[in-house]
Structure 1
Amino acid sequence: MTRPHAKTRTPFWDNARFAAIVLVVFGHAIQRLTYDSDAAEALYLLVYAFHMPLFALVAGYFSSSAEPSRARMARLFTDLIAPYLIFETLWTITQFLVTGRTNLDPAQPSWTLWFLLALALFRLVLPYLALLRAPVVWALAISVVAGYLPSIDSTFSVSRFLGLLPFFTLGWWLREHDVVARAGLLAARPVWLRVTAGAVLAGVGALALVFVDTWRDVRLGTWFFFVDPYVDLDAPQWWAGGIRLAIIALALILMTAFLLLVPRGETRWTHLGRYTMYVYLLHTFVLYPFRQSGVLRGLEPSWLWIVVVAVASVVIAVALSSRPVRRLTRPLVEPRMPWLFRDRELGTGRASG
């Protein structure tokens, strides 16, 4: 009897995941420096313009539009809903210990936990969205229209789920139509293309710095969150949806440039791309004391501290995805609850389908 072949992983996607999670850590770490540094503000805007859309696109690429099986429905709970409830509880306790106040409300995700709920909603709606003609166009229309509706807010991450839906749907569409393989997008990139990609990222970063006061005035960083309706962003005009379209287009350009720079083959950190959920859920507990203490305010020279924060972000990502940390925190990040299901196998994470 022959043993089934293990599913092979493509190094590029693990490289992309790890590089993206470093950007997430860096974006959160540098936020306190933006109050005193235009350079930090520019980098913050550059990162936030595309890093969560990129995560949504990659998540969509590895999602299925098939009719949900029992195992997949169970994993939706064990992989996303249960960790959300666990970490929401931990954050409630942490905030009470630090501030003496708490507001336990699972409908309003704490800090980064919104993405778990958004990802759960993405997976729930994808089989229905895939039934439509031009699903990416529908997702784009839904995202733009949602911004006109003030009743759609951050409750259960609905506003962000709808706002980022085009990226998730596009990721699924690329996999469904085998675009990556057909276009040879995993082949080695010529030097001129990588130079162009770097120039695009540098150019957008330079524009962010040169016009940083303008971007602050128009609250561009808040637009990148895909949370608030247009009217709350001081854009009640009929053409406000065009701004979201422009932001989506910018995100696509930047993530394309970013992905062109990601190594295609195995690297020393490729395997860490499998464990980005650990970094995503745990890094906020590492950063929280620094954000709350104010030690990152008023530091001079600011450019030196930006470098320090960048290096620290890589170190944090590597440390939190390391084997000892994974062993210690696995019950929180990847809970297994066979006691919860009538079929205990569904709660072990080993059920097929």
Structure 2
Amino acid sequence: MTREAAPVAPTQGLEPGRSVQRIPMWDTARFLAVTLVVIGHAIQRQTGASEHALALYTFIYAFHMPAFGVISGYFSSAATPTADRMKRTITDIVVPYIIMQTIWTVVQAVVEGGKQFNPTQPTWTLWFLLALGIFRLILPYLAQLRWPLFWAVVFSIGVGYFDNVDSTLSLSRAISLLPFFLVGWQVKQWGVFDRWYDAPRRTVVRVRIVAAAVFAAWAVSCAVWIPQFKEFDLHHWFFYDDSYSGLGEDAWWAGAVRLGLMLLAAVLTASFLLLVPRRRVWITRFGAATMYVYLLHTFVLYPIRESGVLAGEHSAWPYVLLMVVVACAVSLFLAQPFVRRGMRWLLEPKVDWLFRKEPVA
């Protein structure tokens, strides 16, 4: 398969609108993944009264952030950070985080009252920006170890036993989701998807039948066993945020539950990526705008969520379906070029003044 070439630059799961190596499959995967994020946030308020909404929510949350972790890891480098890469971490992660955290602090203070600016406690979706920064910071160190993926899994399972590792600076989620980031980086080293791009059509069809069957099995499980999943509070396990005791399971074997859910997420994420078209499709061009969709969709959904309209009879399945349609429309709208042009000043501000000039040799 011919890949779309462009100048190479560091990339991440939430791709800013900069010049990067464009591979159609990954751009499509980015946009589909961020659309799943928007759908999940759109129907969240309906999950309390609707098992249909909760089933869909559980289906999505089992793999959508692990998928972002894999995508981020695939395009990350374990090489010694250069000055340019360190600056990109500041401009792509730190600066947007501070800007958006400030804006959300003001919005919530006005709407909800009593909100104080606290950059150590990310608001709503902003936790993933900090997690990305942590991933990129520690990858060069993990890459020096034997079996880095094994250690990432150990850290992820082990952190759940510590109540003092919480949402401060997204540390709990960053450590918990680290294995998926490492999987993405590792499969890039193994050249797994390089072989997938060029796999014969017969092989692709067979693999995708299996991947579709995996998705179908998980969808049926969510539909049939949602009362049991609700009783166990399963969807909260997929947040990768609370300790095991915070999730109501402080037994010694709680780590085995996380391991099982991580394996489920890995299988679903692999199935998701294998089902993504390898060639360009009509949504591929939106893959470079995922940062805009991710950071801006919350402003569109926030008034709807806070109005209380997504409750009672508005939690019935036709309204759940309506919110899915609304979420897809929001995702498509925010990925449009005119949105990126209009909001670049906010999400990708020019901050050259932050950096010192390179010393003259």
TM-score, structure 2 length as denominator? 0.90
1:144–1:163 Cα contact (<8 Å) kept: yes
1:342 aligns with 2:330: no
1:110 aligns with 2:123: yes
1:95 aligns with 2:122: no
CA distance in 2, matches of 1:190, 1:151: 46
Match of 2:237 in 1: 223
Match of 2:215 in 1: 201
* Aligned pairs for 1:301-316 within 5 A: 302-316=316-330
SS where residue 140 of structure 1 aligns?
helix
1:180–1:186 Cα contact (<8 Å) kept: no
Match of 2:301 in 1: 287
| Corresponding residue pairs, total | 342
SS where residue 231 of structure 1 aligns?
coil
Q: Which moved more, 1:287-296 or 1:300-309?
A: 300-309
1:68 aligns with 2:81: yes
* Aligned pairs for 1:169-318 within 5 A: 169-182=182-195, 188=201, 190-299=204-313, 302-318=316-332
Match of 1:85 in 2: 98
Change (3 A) 1:316 1:201: same
Match of 1:164 in 2: 177
Q: Aligned AA for 2:191?
A: D
Match of 1:14 in 2: 27
CA distance in 1, matches of 2:58, 2:51: 11
TM-score, structure 1 length as denominator? 0.92
1:41–1:209 Cα contact (<8 Å) kept: no
CA distance in 2, matches of 1:178, 1:199: 25
Unpaired segments ≥5 residues, structure 2: 9-20
1:328 Cα deviation after fit: 1.5
SS where residue 246 of structure 2 aligns?
helix
CA distance in 1, matches of 2:37, 2:125: 10
Match of 2:162 in 1: 149
2:75–2:185 Cα contact (<8 Å) kept: yes
Deviations 1:181-222 (A, max 9, x none): 245576656444333322322221221222212212211111
2:244–2:250 Cα contact (<8 Å) kept: yes
Q: Which moved more, 1:159-168 or 1:310-319?
A: 310-319
Change (3 A) 1:73 1:170: same
* RMSD between aligned residues: 1.9
Change (3 A) 1:253 1:5: closer
Q: Which moved more, 1:179-188 or 1:92-101?
A: 179-188
Deviations 1:234-280 (A, max 9, x none): 11111111001001001011112212221111111111001100000
